[in-house]
Amino acid sequence: MRARIRLEKEYRIAEADPRLFGAFVEHLGRCVYGGVYEPGHPHADPQGLRRDVVALVKELGVPVVRYPGGNFVSGFRWEDSVGPAAERPRRLDLAWRSTEPNLFGLNEFVAWTRAVGTSPMMALNLGTRGTEAALDLLEYCNHPGGSAWSDLRRRHGFPEPHGIKLWCLGNELDGPWQVGQKSPLEYGRLARETAKAMKLLDPTLELVACGSSHGRMETFPEWEATVLEHAYDYVDYLSLHSYYQNHEDDPAEFLASSAGMDAFIRSVVATADYVKARRRSHRTIHLSFDEWNVWFHSMEADRTVQPWTVGPPLLEDVYTLEDALVVGTLLITLLKHADRVKIACIAQLVNVIAPIMTAPGGPAWRQTIFYPFMHASRFGRGTVLDLRLDCPGYESKKHGPVPYLEATAVDDGRGTLTLLLVNRSVAEPVELEVQLGGYQGLSALEHQELRHPDRKAANTRERPDAVQPRPAAKKPEVEGDRLRLAVAPFSWNVVRVATRA
């Protein structure tokens, strides 16, 4: 099949916020214990952090990491996680019915973020706790000294403030599965008062209010409207969460998932802007898509896990090529909404529905979804262009018409233009022509593709490199302002072009 993309250098969506390529570490399953933290492992440093995991996180290039949850945070007592590790209490975590030993806590997490070169995005417990505990935690983390909580941090061996600037006001508090579920009115008022108090301590904080747990909630989008009616003047972002499944084993329908993400984002933007208009406000609320991924492989296995253990194997999806292509389309969709989506966190980072897997005492390896995320993080930083795509498509049962090609383009401002592409077709290649308006002196740098004859191919401990990116068989051709290339069936593609203004 043939397709055409037209773009102009001056037709821009927005500058992509680097925090679009964030991640998520929750005290869930083996994400922390046996993931980022495993004392006694051959690659562990003196603090118990796995150096092999640190290296892979650096390779991904995540600029922000959300912590400590997730559902876990709605019962979290942060004071349990600081001070001498041997004196910390063991607690029962109701969210995942596990035992939390509190050996890896707040200060260890901050030290880990510095080791991997990222920044913390701290979530607050507004489920079983409230404004007072949030203020105590903020004071502990960020106040220089001379107060009860800041001096306690100093006694714990951290004389300098952590300087955490990005905070989530709870997690999924519309959900009946959540400890401390709230009505929209209850949560909206709690979020407002907590945000107001936190900004009295530090007006430079960035605060994220909870949006709906997903777009299928009965209260969506009334939840967003009610919460923002109360908290609009005090928060900076509204959160979105969504996970994608292929229970029917229908690749065409699964690869249309990004159309659902696109519709979800547009609905939340419309709701936020409706509240803006009602309030006659000049402020614009941006979005934090701080939980997203493919998640469905492990659900049956999770039902057999023994409760109240430490670091049980929960949500350990083994990802296929098919999943990687869906993740690629989701990343492209986030970039196409860079004008409003400023933060996004793939959930999660290690072992739990994650791009990185580890074996206890053994190796760490890259799952298939590692590669599109790494490519987008590496090459998706710059100006996202507002391209026009002309491509054949198909009819999705859930999402309507979907083109076979998903695409975006990012100009890094330093002489390189990157095209990120997914061919949804299982069988047909796409002969693509790209018209690059406003660019001169074009030359093709590379065309990397992620594909495999088996759409269910996965990377495992035994075969960690079964699916990995490789140079395309044929380099793109450049003629004037036109770029021509072949996009293989069922593939993720990174095409980089050198430009001269």
Judge contact between 196 and 208, C-beta under 8 A: no
Range(s) of the domain holding residue 415: 2-9+385-500
User: DSSP readout, 106-117?
Assistant: HHHHHHHHHHHT
Query: Which residues belong to the active site?
Result: 172, 291
Q: Which CATH number characterizes residue 198's domain?
A: 3.20.20.80
Q: Which of 346, 379, 412 is the last residue of a domain?
A: 379
Q: The tokens 């905070």 sit on which residue?
A: 167
| One domain, residues 225 and 252 | yes
Tens-place pLDDT, residues 120-139: 999 999 999 999 999 999 99
Q: What is the mean pLDDT of the chain?
A: 97
Residue 308: Cβ within 10 Å count: 10
Cα 361 to Cα 33: distance, rounded to the nearest angstrom: 12
| One domain, residues 111 and 138 | yes
Q: What residues in the chain have per-residue pLDDT under 70?
A: 501
| One domain, residues 196 and 284 | yes
User: How far, rounded to the nearest angstrom, does the alpha carbon of residue 327 sit from its chain's CA centroid?
Assistant: 10
User: Which candidate, 236, 172, 228, places its Cα nearest to that of 199?
Assistant: 236
pTM over 0.95: yes
Q: Which CATH number characterizes residue 440's domain?
A: 2.60.40.1180
Split into its structural domains, the chain has a count of: 2
Which residues are bridge partners to 499 per DSSP? none
pLDDT on residue 501: 61
Cα 225 to Cα 215: distance, rounded to the nearest angstrom: 14
| Burial classification of residue 114, based on how many CB atoms lie within 10 Å of its CB (0-12 exposed, 13-18 middle, 19 or more buried) | exposed
3-state secondary structure of 135: helix
pLDDT on residue 500: 80
User: Which candidate, 154, 88, 75, 73, places its Cα nearest to that of 121?
Assistant: 73
Tens-place pLDDT, residues 472-490: 999 999 999 999 999 999 9
Q: Which of 329, 346, 379 is the last residue of a domain?
A: 379
User: DSSP readout, 249-303?
Assistant: --HHHHTTHHHHHHHHHHHHHHHHHHHHHHTT-----EEEEEEEEE--TTHHHHT
| One domain, residues 344 and 303 | yes
Cα 346 to Cα 20: distance, rounded to the nearest angstrom: 9
| One domain, residues 374 and 389 | no
| One domain, residues 471 and 430 | yes
| One domain, residues 226 and 300 | yes
| One domain, residues 444 and 316 | no
Cα 31 to Cα 345: distance, rounded to the nearest angstrom: 15
User: How far, rounded to the nearest angstrom, does the alpha carbon of residue 28 sit from its chain's CA centroid?
Assistant: 16
| One domain, residues 396 and 373 | no
Distance in Å from the first CA to the final CA of the chain:
32
| One domain, residues 287 and 395 | no
- The answer for residues whose C-beta is within 8 angstroms of residue 9's C-beta and 6 or more apart is 385, 411, 436, 437, 438, 439
Cis ω before 363 (30° cut-off from 0): no
| One domain, residues 204 and 323 | yes
Q: Which of 348, 379, 410 is the last residue of a domain?
A: 379
